[in-house]
Structure 1
Amino acid sequence: MDRIAALRQIETALTDLESGEADLEECERRVRATVRTFATEFDGELAAYRSETGTVVLADSERAARERVRELTGADAPTVERLDG
């Protein structure tokens, strides 16, 4: 999924919330699903990596992913696993 498609799906979810066709819980579920799909099916040089804490980051290598997780969570030596969409 590319960025434009993800933004369109999020916009549709927000529009449905505003019009009353969806409640907040449904809107949140749809936005979360869109972002997860975008991250795990990222179309570019980056890939999604998940750490043992559950943190998911986009990075161009396992090493870069570990560094991003370290910066975000403060973990000393995080392990990461590449997610293949």
Structure 2
Amino acid sequence: NREPQLELLKNFQKELTNYKENLEKVEDVDSYKKDVSFPKICKTNDDKRKHLAELFEKELRDKFREHSPTKTIYTRTNQI
């Protein structure tokens, strides 16, 4: 039964969407996340927002893998 996994995925997708929407409202992106250093290619606020969204998405993927019943499959795939 994959219901719990699908529900978790939906919740993470909703979190990501909310995060991206909130980022759009931030004017001073540099001070929004002080612990993040932006790559040199991130010159505009839009570039920085995109970078932050990608980092957040990676965090969510990692969380999903932690809570996934098929955790070992992901781990093995990543090692190959």
Same fold by TM-score greater than 0.5: no
**TM-score after normalising by structure 2:** 0.31
Q: Identify the structure with bigger relative contact order (alpha carbons < 8 Å, sequence gap 6+).
A: 2
Name whichever structure is richer in helix by fraction: 2
Structure having the larger proportion of residues in strand? 1
